[in-house]
Amino acid sequence: MKRVLFILSLIMLATSCGPSRHSIPVEMRHPSVSGLELSGKTVSVIYSNIGNPELDGINANMSSAFAKALEKEYATGEGSVRVYEVDGRAGVYTEKDSLFNLLMRTGADMVFLFDAPDMGKDAVASGPLVMKLYCYDGMDQNEKVHAFSGSTVITSADKLGMALEASETGKTVAESFFPQWKLEQYSIAYYDSSRWYDALMKAEQYDWKGAMDIWIALLDTNDMMKRASAEYNIAVACYMLGDVDLAGQWLDKSVRDNEMPTLTDALRKRIMLSLQGRR
């Protein structure tokens, strides 16, 4: 019954000249607010020990909570993000060569370094705390050291309270490296026929492979507008399936067969942004 009502509503919107459009809301994954991509990479976390029991304890708990939060978000398994300690009095670890050496020592693709936190010249156990975090991605061709800083306030004076507050800070910092999810609208072209409706139904159910199979079959036509519409839809399906390069190729075919800028321009911008994000 739901399918019948869905098709009837589409027929009411369909027009005789050119394709009609149906908008599908899709929750899309975007890079974290930090701009770094962690998916598919092995990660290690290192914290600097400066010989101050309170500050070193804060840094250790913050780093451990940070690592566990990354494991949970990226579903890499408990213990997959290893935590290491370095003697902050033995050298500077925030430069590219030093971070690269740490990366090699841990065998990870990406390394995060929590430098010794700053609580002022008195270095007391509680009060305002400034944290400094550095990241080096061995898979980034730019070989850039990413530096982040932030501040919080440690209110507890006892060891357990400081540990809990440091852990919460570590979790909060980790959220800056979680992917963002945003609801976006994607247009699908369709015509008043059962095959186009069947493909649209599959797209509505996020069965992009099934919808694409139908659109590929619909390419067998002498109607260049319909062919271009099917090619555009295939480009959308490829984009949803994560093959951005192939999506761009199908979009190029669609434009060559029949230009439909009101449909293709938005997808073109999304493809270009995705390609830029990989560089």
Domain positions in the chain are 2-31+181-277, 43-178
Please report the pLDDT score of residue 4 as a whole number.
42
Task: Supply the mean pLDDT for the chain.
Answer: 88
pTM score: 0.71
Please report the pLDDT score of residue 15 as a whole number.
43
Q: What is 2-31+181-277's CATH topology?
A: 1.25.40
Alpha helix positions (H), the chain: 2-13, 53-74, 96-106, 159-175, 194-204, 208-217, 224-240, 244-257, 261-277
Please report the pLDDT score of residue 124 as a whole number.
53
Inter-residue contact 69 to 174 (CB < 8 Å): yes
Pairwise CA distance, residues 227 & 111, whole Å: 48
Q: Given a cut of 50, is residue 3 above it in pLDDT? A: no
pLDDT digits (tens, 9 = 90+) for 141-159: 888 899 999 888 888 878 8
Burial of 243 (0-12, 13-18, 19+ CB in 10 A): middle
Pairwise CA distance, residues 19 & 12, whole Å: 13
> Matching CATH topology for 2-31+181-277 and 43-178?
no
Q: How confident is the model at residue 90 (pLDDT cuts 50, 70, 90)?
A: confident
Nearest to 201 by CA among 5, 6, 1: 6
Q: Given a cut of 90, is residue 91 above it in pLDDT? A: no
Q: What is 43-178's CATH topology?
A: Rossmann fold (3.40.50)
Please give the helix or strand (H or E) that residue 23 lies within, else none.
strand 20-30
